[in-house]
Each structure stands twice: as C-alpha cells, then as structure tokens.
C-alpha cells in the first residue's frame, strides 16, 4: 500500500487565510480516513503555480507559468537522508528522488545525515534569544540549517520509527528551530511560532516502512502535517514506500509524490 497525503496552504503567512485542507490521493483503508478535514475537489484541481504565488513564493509560480507543467528549472531541492548507520536500503530511494527532481529541472543537493557530525539539541534556546537564527553549538547542523533556509523544497527521507522520523533526521529538525521566531501567533485557532523569514520551502516527506502498518502510516502523515505548519511550508506531501517494493514501484510512488507537490492536480 502506498499512501500520499498532501496539504496546500493558500496565503501562507496570512493570518486571515482559511483553515488547512488535506487531500488523500490513494485508496486508503478506512482507519486512515479518520480526519477532521473533508477533501475538496477544488484542492485537487488547483495548480501548484497559483498555490505558491499566493503563499509568498513567487519564484516557483513564475517559473511554473513560463514552462510546461511539472518543469521548474533552478528550483533548489534539498534531500535529507535520515538512514541510520549500516542501513543501505534508503540509497535507491534517495536516487529515485534525485532523478525525479532533476528530471523536472531542479538543482538537487543531497545530504546523508549519518555522515555529518550533529550533536543533539541542548534546549538552550540561544538560537532564539542570544544569536537569532544561529545555533550556539558549532557542528555540521549549522550548514544544514542554512541549506534548508535557502532551499525551495526540503525532502525528508527517513525510515519510519514508531510512526516518526529516524534519530538522525530528528536531530537535524530539532537543531533547526532557529529558522522560526521565538514569538507566537495564532494559526487556525492554534498557537504557533511566527515565521522568521518572508518565505519558506515546501516540504516533501518520504517514509520507508517495514511492514505496511496503516496505523504507523497515519501517524507519519499526521506528523508531517504538523511539521509543515510549524515550518510554515506553503505546500507539502507525505508518501509511504515499503522496503520490499520493487524499483519500479518506488520510482512510480516517488514520481507521483513529486508531481503532486509541483503541479497540484496537473500533468507531470
């Protein structure tokens, strides 16, 4: 079973915008449909170009309009591979992601997090109160956070651990909290941190599962939904692939997820 969940936020950063809208794009078991937001046909038809224009990322929308749907050159995509030490199973999925994004004209940067020394977050909040946007711990996390901030798309690739990310990916996300403001605002009736910057990248999360557990898939999709809110992502997609999927199945799932993110409801 392959799961793709996506959410688009027209007018991201605008407190007056409407509630978030979720789209389930595959035939998912009933347990995965227990959501409070009802999908709308208009969401599926809306193009990524208009979504990104309204959300404050005009670079994407201008390129999308000038070229055939799905071809967006010069877009900067960052793939964060959260595979743990000794796990080579995510390498072909990383390759499929890189190929799918490159085929659409993206400039792709790939980082295998286990090859970079990254300490755990100390919870000191210096990145908020002493050195705004900059972590006090000097290691590989600094360059990764800078790469995240300048990207147009962040791809989170991770084995699913109890519905969540791997420890390698979780460390990076914890260390990147400085890219949002320490001050708060109200979004959709909830309290969240204000954005620090005028624009933020879209988010594509690929979870790799061992046993196709639907409850685990639901937790993962929900986690990505919530992270996308916290990171002020203008659009996001979460997809699940299995380690025993064939290379063709993996390429198809990745291609579908990338196409859905780049051209919502359009031809890839």
Placement of tokens 């995965």 in the chain: 32
| CB of 82 closer than 8 Å to CB of 93 | no
What pLDDT digit, counting tens, does each position of 190-226 carry?
999 999 999 999 999 999 999 889 999 999 999 999 9
Q: Which of 135, 206, 228, 216 is nearest to 174 (CA)?
A: 135
Spans of all domains in the chain:
4-262
Q: What span, in angstroms and rounded, lies between the C-alpha atoms of 257 and 151?
A: 18
* Conformational region of residue 151, where left means phi above 0, alpha means psi within -120 to 50, and beta covers everything else: beta
pLDDT at 268: 38
Cβ neighbours, 10 Å, residue 260: 23
Placement of tokens 């659409």 in the chain: 104
Going by CATH, does the domain composed of 4-262 fall within 3.40.50.360? Answer: yes
What pLDDT digit, counting tens, does each position of 222-242 carry?
999 999 999 999 989 999 999
This prediction has a pTM of 0.75
Question: Which of the 8 DSSP states describes residue 23?
Answer: E
Q: What span, in angstroms and rounded, lies between the C-alpha atoms of 137 and 31?
A: 42
Residue 108, CA atoms < 13 Å, CB-side half-sphere: 18
Mean pLDDT of 68-76: 65
Structure tokens belonging to residue 204: 């594509």
């Amino acid at each position: 079973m392959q799961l793709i969940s996506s959410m688009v936020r027209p007018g991201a950063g605008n407190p007056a915008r409407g509630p978030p809208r979720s789209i389930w794009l595959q035939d998912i078991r009933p347990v995965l449909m227990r959501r409070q937001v009802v999908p709308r046909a208009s969401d599926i038809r809306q193009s990524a170009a208009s979504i990104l224009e309204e959300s404050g990322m005009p670079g994407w929308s201008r390129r999308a309009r000038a070229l055939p749907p799905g071809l967006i050159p010069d877009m900067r995509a960052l793939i964060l591979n959260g595979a743990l030490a000794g796990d080579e199973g995510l390498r072909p999925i990383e390759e499929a992601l890189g190929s799918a994004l490159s085929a659409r004209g993206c400039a792709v940067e790939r980082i295998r997090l286990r090859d970079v020394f990254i300490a755990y977050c100390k919870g000191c909040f210096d990145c908020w109160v002493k050195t705004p946007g900059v972590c006090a711990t000097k290691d590989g996390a600094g360059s990764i956070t800078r790469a995240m901030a300048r990207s147009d798309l962040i791809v989170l690739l991770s084995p699913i651990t109890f519905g969540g990310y791997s420890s390698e990916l979780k460390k990076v996300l914890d260390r990147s909290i400085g890219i949002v403001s320490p001050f708060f605002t109200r979004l959709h009736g909830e309290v969240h941190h204000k954005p620090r910057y005028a624009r933020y990248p879209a988010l594509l999360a690929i979870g790799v599962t061992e046993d196709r557990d639907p409850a685990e898939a639901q937790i993962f999709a929900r986690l990505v939904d919530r992270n996308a809110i916290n990171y002020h992502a203008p659009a996001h997609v979460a997809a699940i692939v299995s380690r025993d999927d064939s290379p063709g199945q993996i390429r198809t799932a990745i291609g579908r997820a990338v196409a859905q993110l780049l051209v919502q409801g359009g031809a890839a």
